[in-house]
Amino acid sequence: MMTQIAWAAPKFMIDCVLANGSRQLEADGCVLERIENGHELSTPDHLRVGDTVNVQLWLEGEEAFIDIRLALVTKVHKHWEHWVTVEVIRVNQNDRVRLKQFIDAPSATTIEGSALVDHLLIRA
């Protein structure tokens, strides 16, 4: 008998734009807290390691964002004001391919290692 796990929608969403990727993917954006009628601007101070978040990652020149449906907060940088590291857990295959193609494009900043596509450093 298979047990289904019901995922509650994460309390926070991060809306960000890919900024660079010299050693890992870096993005600039904002933290939004889910409230009854939508979202409210928040700060990374409200995030804790282990929190799950949704991430909307915008790419330069693209009209649609990369929909990271589930990411895990792995670090809230106390010494770097307003930086958060997240690990990508759930993103649809088409969005993953779009992100990889964007990173691999000749005009993109070089990313060292494909495993780094699963980790984002976000200034929010």
∠ CA 11-27-50, rounded to 5°: 35
Percentage of the chain lying above the pLDDT 70 cut = 80
**Mean pLDDT confidence for 72-77:** 94
**Mean pLDDT confidence for 15-27:** 80
Q: Which domain holds residue 45?
A: 12-123
How many structural domains does the chain have? 1
What's this model's pTM, rounded to 2 decimal places? Answer: 0.82
Decide if 5 is inside a domain: no
- Cα atoms in the 13 Å half-sphere on the side-chain side of 121: 13
Measured in degrees and rounded to the nearest 5, phi and psi for residue 86 equal: -125, 150
Decide if 41 is inside a domain: yes
Distance CA 82, CA 30 (A): 9
**Mean pLDDT confidence for 33-57:** 93
Decide if 7 is inside a domain: no
